[in-house]
Structure 1
Amino acid sequence: MPEFVPLEAGTWPLFERLFGPGGVQGGCWCAFFRLTGPEFRAAGSTGRKDHLRAAAEAGKPLGLLALVDGQPMGWVAVSPRPDNPRLARSRLLASDAPGVVWAITCFYVDRRGRRRGLAGELLRAAVGYATEHGAEVVEGYPVVNGNRPPADLYHGTVAMFTDAGFTMVEQRGPARALVRRELVSAR
């Protein structure tokens, strides 16, 4: 049974161990959505890592780690949508949801933890985490099953989100979708 812990200063070493020295996916360090395009390119892998570490040390909500027997096995990035400036600039990921919106932008599961349903458990934990922090709506931007290579599954799949109570708002292009789960009636 996994344990889910937020990424913060005290859990940073676990995150670093999970992501390894390269920062997963070409040195992203899960900063892709948290930085604008020019900022992301200029930062390089080291700058991206430093950016995320500084946010963790400042206590910003960033996401959750899945620990299995005390070992980091998975990650989900979940945070307030405004903390992800790339979402606002993307035609594909634009949203008009009212209220306090949180975004689930990324999943990573270590190869030792794959094919065990851990990503789905991370998704459910992320919704709970967002709810505890005042989210009224949680959005995701998954791939439409079968229309993307396996390397793009870090966004999750539509089926995974709908199984967790999300509704498909609309398909965006041939390969992506906007999904949403309302937690509290928008005011």
Structure 2
Amino acid sequence: MSTITIEPATQQRFADTEHALTGGGDGASCQCQWWLMTNSEFDHTTRKEKEERLRIELGTTPAPALIAYVDGVPAGFVRVGPRTKQPKLARTRSFKPSPSPWDDPDVWAVTCFVVRREFRNQGLNRKLLDAAISHARANGARVLEAYPSDPNAKKIPTNDLFIGVLSTFLAAGFHEVVERPAPHRTIVQLELTQA
């Protein structure tokens, strides 16, 4: 049986972060900068520049992401932090119905999962989500929000599941909080001041 641990993504773990991000999907090219930049900025920023932005960000407190290790190997990554530090969320039309004011610093968001191909189908997304909940709660978040896809409503390409899958969030205690912006798009929240 594998040993799974989850640690904050820090500058000291930058090489591990890169390993986790480059094992499948768009993590390697995105460097988890999608929610931090405008479309134009993102399109005109090289991968090397995105890497440097991520490296600098990993020097902030609290850590903006977590890394899952399987038997010591960096296997997965989740971005979790104050929603106000992920400004593209407020500009994303399908997320606008959020019931929480966009300038509320106590609302955090889980916005990106990456699991290396060789570690998929081992429940890492759920373990990363559980750790993200604990991380947000420990750092003072009142509400944790997410925007997972519902593949039961529409077939979704694997690369488009980086925001998570609805069933994983529901199993962790999240609830849909507004009418769906589209059949497969959801907005879910978890109150962290309870339980």
Instruction: Provide the TM-score with structure 1 as the length reference.
Output: 0.91
Work out the CA distance in 2 between the residues paired with 1:70 and 1:135. Answer: 29
Corresponding residue for 1:119? 125
Q: Deviations over 1:43-99 (max 9, x none)?
A: 121221111111112345311000111110111110100010100111111223255
- Determine helix, strand or coil for the equivalent of 1:155: coil
Work out the CA distance in 1 between the residues paired with 2:36 and 2:72. Answer: 28
- Aligned-CA RMSD value: 2.0
Corresponding residue for 1:153? 161
How far does residue 132 in structure 1 lie from its aligned partner after superposition?
Answer: 0.5
Work out the CA distance in 1 between the residues paired with 2:116 and 2:24. Answer: 14
- Aligned partner (choices 82, 96, 99) of residue 96 of structure 1: 99
In structure 2, stretches of 5+ residues that fail to align are none
- Determine helix, strand or coil for the equivalent of 1:33: helix
- Equivalent pair of 1:29/1:48 in contact (CA under 8 Å): yes
| Greater relative contact order (Cα < 8 A, sep 6+) | 2
Aligned residue identity for 1:33: W
- Equivalent pair of 2:176/2:188 in contact (CA under 8 Å): yes
- Equivalent pair of 1:145/1:159 in contact (CA under 8 Å): no
Instruction: Provide the TM-score with structure 2 as the length reference.
Output: 0.88
Alpha-carbon distance change, 40 to 24 in structure 1, aligned in 2, over 3 angstroms: same
Work out the CA distance in 2 between the residues paired with 1:181 and 1:152. Answer: 23
- Equivalent pair of 2:142/2:193 in contact (CA under 8 Å): yes
Q: Greater strand share, 1 or 2?
A: 1
Work out the CA distance in 1 between the residues paired with 2:75 and 2:147. Answer: 22
Corresponding residue for 1:131? 137
Corresponding residue for 2:174? 166
- Equivalent pair of 1:23/1:49 in contact (CA under 8 Å): no
Work out the CA distance in 1 between the residues paired with 2:88 and 2:181. Answer: 16
How far does residue 19 in structure 1 lie from its aligned partner after superposition?
Answer: 2.2
Counting matched residue pairs gives 185
Q: Which moved more, 1:21-30 or 1:124-133?
A: 21-30
- Equivalent pair of 2:149/2:164 in contact (CA under 8 Å): yes
Corresponding residue for 2:57? 55
How far does residue 25 in structure 1 lie from its aligned partner after superposition?
Answer: 4.3
In structure 1, stretches of 5+ residues that fail to align are none
Matching of residue 33 in structure 1 with residue 41 in structure 2: no
Misfit runs of 4+, over 6 Å: none
